[in-house]
């Protein structure tokens, strides 16, 4: 009888330990799910802000093209850059897990940012265009959108960092890969991003100065 009680006690202890481990694993798994969804939500915000910028461009082009003798090549570059962004296929709901796809998306957005930056340089030669209410309103909206893009990219990287750290931590590291939780890539930080940026049109890519416009 005494041996039976000992066996039952051992089994109960093992069962309790097993139950605790299951609860820990379940809590860890649910935590990974929440973090993964957080990354996807941040990605959706990035997509929304970039789409808002793309939606503003047709009105900007229409407004600027009305200026006499305006450099048509600049408008062509913006139109082509906007079209190239649409050719990059990425999941709009789930954050990309392939670094190459995120890099291609980022490069396309960077080209559009550079084209917009060059447009501002050219517009400096058209004070009558800068003075119009339509252009001033569009410029303000684009500047606000660029700020939102910067914040959305930073929040996305923060969400990815929290997620990637979690799947490499114990006990998640024991099962994360088998359950489909894999590393997610970051947006590459632009040079000089450690300092507070000024409002400009090249937040989507490398922080390089726009090419000078030849007279």
3-state SS class at 199: coil
Provide CB contacts within 8 A for 5, sequence distance 6+: none
d(CA 43, CA 50): 11
d(CA 21, CA 18): 5
pLDDT at 141 over 90: yes
Cis peptide before 154 (omega within 30 of 0): no
d(CA 74, CA 118): 7
Q: What is the rounded average pLDDT of the residues 46-62?
A: 93
Provide CB contacts within 8 A for 26, sequence distance 6+: none
By the 10 Å C-beta count (0-12 exposed, 13-18 middle, 19+ buried), 196 is classed as exposed
pLDDT of residue 207: 39
Domains of the chain (ranges plus CATH)? Answer: 30-174 (1.20.1440.20)
Read off the pTM. 0.78
pLDDT of residue 209: 38
pLDDT at 22 over 70: yes
3-state SS class at 111: helix
Is the four-CA dihedral 93, 91, 206, 145 of positive or negative sign?
A: negative
Provide CB contacts within 8 A for 65, sequence distance 6+: 72, 75
pLDDT at 163 over 80: yes
Mutual angle of helices 133-167 and 2-65, in 10-degree steps: 160
Indicate the average pLDDT of the chain.
Answer: 82
pLDDT at 155 over 90: yes
pLDDT at 16 over 90: no
d(CA 34, CA 53): 29
pLDDT tens-digit series, residues 198-215: 434 333 444 333 344 333
pLDDT tens-digit series, residues 70-123: 778 888 899 999 999 988 888 878 899 999 999 999 999 999 999 999 888 888
pLDDT of residue 21: 65
151, two tokens? 């914040």
pLDDT of residue 150: 94
pLDDT at 64 over 70: yes
What's the DSSP call for residue 174? G
Q: Of 5 and 59, which is predicted with more confidence?
A: 59
């Amino acid at each position: 009888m005494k041996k039976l009680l000992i066996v039952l006690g051992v089994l109960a202890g093992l069962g309790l330990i097993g139950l605790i481990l299951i609860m820990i694993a379940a809590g860890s798994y649910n935590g990974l799910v929440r973090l993964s969804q957080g990354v996807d939500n941040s990605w959706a915000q990035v997509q929304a802000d970039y789409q808002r910028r793309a939606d503003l461009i047709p009105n900007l082009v229409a407004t600027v093209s009305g200026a006499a003798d305006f450099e048509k090549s600049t408008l062509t570059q913006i139109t082509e850059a906007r079209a190239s962004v649409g050719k990059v296929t990425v999941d709009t709901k789930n954050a990309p897990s392939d670094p190459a796809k995120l890099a291609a998306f980022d490069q396309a957005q960077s080209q559009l940012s550079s084209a917009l930056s060059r447009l501002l340089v050219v517009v400096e030669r058209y004070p009558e265009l800068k003075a119009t209410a339509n252009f001033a309103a569009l410029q303000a909206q684009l500047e606000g959108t660029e700020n939102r893009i910067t914040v959305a990219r930073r929040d996305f990287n923060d969400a990815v960092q929290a997620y990637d750290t979690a799947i490499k931590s114990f006990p998640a590291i024991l099962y994360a890969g088998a359950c489909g939780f894999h590393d997610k890539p970051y947006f590459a930080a632009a040079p000089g991003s450690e300092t507070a940026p000024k409002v400009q049109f090249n937040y989507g890519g490398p922080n390089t100065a726009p090419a000078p416009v030849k007279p």
